Amino acid sequence: MDQSLNPVVRPPLTVMSEHMLRREGGWTTHLLSLVIDQLLIVASFALAYWMRYLAEWPAVLKPVISEVETPNFVPFNAFLPITLLMVLLLTVLFEIKGLYRVARGSGWIDYASIILSSTLTGIALLIVFVFLYRPFFYSRLIFAFAGINIIVLLCLWRGVLVAIRHWCWSQGIGQEQVLVVGGNGLGQQVMNGLFAQPHQGYRLVGYLEDKPSPTIQYRHCPHLGGIHDLKMVVTNHRVNLVILALPYWLQDRLPELAQTCRLLDIDFRIAPDLYQLSFDRVDVLQVSGVPLIGLKAVSIKGWNLALKRAIDVGLVLLSAPVTLPLSLCIAALIRLDSHGPALFRQTRVGKHGEHFTCYKFRTMVVDAEKRQAELTALNEADGPLFKMKRDPRVTRVGGLLRRSSLDELPQLLNVLLGDMSLVGPRPGLPTEVACYEEWHHRRLEVMPGLTGLWQVLGRSNTTFDEMVRLDIYYAENWSVGMDLRIIFQTVPAVLLSKGAY
């Protein structure tokens, strides 16, 4: 038995009572967020009133609004019933749309989309109600001001909360203690994901496996015992969440483990062993209550593909006045720093396995590819990739370009040529693709991109298998909104040099 299973000193609280306290804390946070939102909605109406009647904004209204009361002037107390009605409407809409139930680790955009849609719906309903009830009493402009103010204030408030929350999690504050049941295959993949994303607010306390994996032990993830030790480990290590990630040959133990979690009143999640099927989203058809799982088709085709292509070309052309002068400056710096051409041409594998010439700014010495064989033993990436944090072949300017991702700027030419997209899977080398497992080839069904989910979620810190799964998820669930979200989230990832080397 592992020494880590020895009894530890803990306060006189049972696991169940601790869980109840966390639930009460969750309701307290929910209520506090709701009250703050309601106060901000009232403040938004007060600000809208000031903009419309006191500041006489916009300026075109000044000749119309005099300093004394006119038929168009309405005292603020007349808006109190409408303000309270708006507070009630938005509270209901926020609850219905799940603003206070957004998944742990969600970003600012997830909150902003709910706030935007709910506010627009609420303002529309309010205008219809008010002007049907008293059509000449209220100014229409004040509702537009109020809607804009509500969206801006609530989104700013959520942005501050998300930033504080992620900072606290990255510092180890407020993280949930997670235990993984299963240490091989699927369990290892789950643990790698938790390791790669500490900002999501989860801390891996260890894993349970009847036959521990030495690879995971090396990654400082303690083996806490066998699967049958679940109850003892949860009790001794203050576990908040249990992830059941058993291989398919141990699926018959799931009911027993799930029942143990229920008796302990501990949250648990089941990771289905669909890993061998190599996809993240499935279509489910029910026949007499029996779920039949099938592969979800790639969504980037037909009109979706044409729309994506139009957006790619449009954005590249719009950014040309900035990217072209910047590219010329970078090219000059490369030539001054080291011998050789500024551009680096390399054969990459694109959609359906077709080869194309990929353009990048040169970040290494001229004979870098010939010297790679000497460094194979120092490879720090898994799978067919080759990555080194301190690659001796990288030049001084090249190191700066890599950390800022500016070395990929010439790939905008590949986008115009139709070889790549702005968003998509990372284009692989022919030698890498030759080492792909069968399921890895599914990422080649869509056009490669300059950035992707792997870029915003971890870059070089993401394992190869996890990168492929993210690529497959993207291909099966593409939308214009997803592309825009990835592009926007790439900016802070690049500025912070997150996982870049």
Per-residue pLDDT tens over the stretch 442-491: 889 889 999 888 777 655 556 777 788 888 888 888 888 888 888 887 87
Do 326 and 268 share a structural domain? no
Integer Cα distance of 279 and 471 in angstroms = 10
To 5 degrees, how large is the angle CA 175–CA 180–CA 183? Answer: 140
Q: What is the pLDDT of residue 321?
A: 92
Q: Are 31 and 281 in contact (CB under 8 A)?
A: no
Which stretches of 240-330 are assigned E, i.e. beta strand?
Answer: 241-244, 267-270, 282-287, 290-295
Q: What is the pLDDT of residue 466?
A: 76
Of the residues 117, 150, 170, which one is the last residue of a structural domain?
Answer: 170
Integer Cα distance of 297 and 309 in angstroms = 19
- Find all residues with CB under 8 Å of 371, minimum gap 6, and list them: 365, 393
Residue 279 within a domain: no
Mean pLDDT of 1-25: 43
Give φ, ψ of 292 to 5 degrees. Answer: -110, 120
Share of the chain above pLDDT 90, in %: 17
Q: What is the pLDDT of residue 263?
A: 84
Do 113 and 234 share a structural domain? no
Mean pLDDT of 314-338: 91
Mean pLDDT of 14-42: 69
Residue 296 within a domain: no
Residue 228 within a domain: yes
Residue 292 within a domain: no
Residue 288 within a domain: no
CB atoms within 10 A of CB 52: 24
Do 405 and 328 share a structural domain? yes
Please say if the pLDDT value at position 250 is more than 80. no
Which stretches of 217-354 are assigned E, i.e. beta strand?
Answer: 241-244, 267-270, 282-287, 290-295, 343-349
Of the residues 150, 170, 190, which one is the last residue of a structural domain?
Answer: 170
Do 88 and 228 share a structural domain? no
Of the two residues 70 and 210, the one the predictor is more confident about is: 210
Question: For the chain, what's the residue count?
Answer: 501
Q: Are 206 and 266 in contact (CB under 8 A)?
A: no
Angle between helices 108-133 and 480-495 (to 10 degrees): 130
Specify burial of residue 240 (Cβ count, 10 A radius: 0-12, 13-18, 19+): buried
Q: Are 480 and 501 in contact (CB under 8 A)?
A: no
- Number of helical H runs and strand E runs in the chain: 16, 10
Integer Cα distance of 426 and 449 in angstroms = 6
Do 96 and 150 share a structural domain? yes
Q: Are 278 and 292 in contact (CB under 8 A)?
A: no
Please say if the pLDDT value at position 398 is more than 60. yes
Scanning the structure block, which residue is given the tokens 């407020």?
A: 174
SS3 of 126-155: the string is: HHHHHHHHCCCCCCHHHHHHHHHHHHHHHH
The answer, as to whether pTM is greater than 0.85, is no
DSSP, res 455: H
Q: Are 108 and 155 in contact (CB under 8 A)?
A: yes
Q: Which residues pair with 285 in a beta bridge?
A: 292
Residue 294 within a domain: no
Do 462 and 341 share a structural domain? yes
DSSP, res 2: -
3-state secondary structure of 29: helix
Pick the closest to residue 447 from 410, 483, 481 (CA basis): 483
Domain with 196 in it: what CATH number?
3.40.50.720
Specify burial of residue 118 (Cβ count, 10 A radius: 0-12, 13-18, 19+): buried
The H or E element spanning position 380 is: none
Q: What is the pLDDT of residue 82?
A: 84
Please say if the pLDDT value at position 316 is more than 90. yes
Task: Provide the number of structural domains found in the chain.
Answer: 3
Do 456 and 406 share a structural domain? yes
Residue 7 within a domain: no
Scanning the structure block, which residue is given the tokens 């810190």?
A: 461
Per-residue pLDDT tens over the stretch 164-217: 888 887 777 777 888 888 877 778 778 877 777 766 778 888 888 887 766 555
Q: What is the pLDDT of residue 357?
A: 94
> Would you give the distance in Å from CA 294 to the centre of its chain?
26
Do 32 and 114 share a structural domain? yes
Give φ, ψ of 280 to 5 degrees. Answer: -105, -25
Q: Are 2 and 222 in contact (CB under 8 A)?
A: yes
The H or E element spanning position 432 is: helix 430-433
Mean pLDDT of 413-440: 90
Q: What is the pLDDT of residue 385?
A: 58
Q: Are 231 and 264 in contact (CB under 8 A)?
A: yes
Do 155 and 226 share a structural domain? no
Do 164 and 22 share a structural domain? yes
Please say if the pLDDT value at position 338 is more than 50. yes
Integer Cα distance of 346 and 159 in angstroms = 40
AA letter at 294: G
Of the two residues 155 and 282, the one the predictor is more confident about is: 155
Residue 501 within a domain: no
Of the residues 139, 170, 201, which one is the last residue of a structural domain?
Answer: 170
Do 317 and 265 share a structural domain? no
Do 211 and 144 share a structural domain? no
The H or E element spanning position 361 is: strand 355-361
Rg, C-alpha atoms of the chain: 28
Integer Cα distance of 353 and 317 in angstroms = 27
Q: What is the pLDDT of residue 468?
A: 83
Domain that holds residue 225: 175-273
Of the two residues 14 and 349, the one the predictor is more confident about is: 349
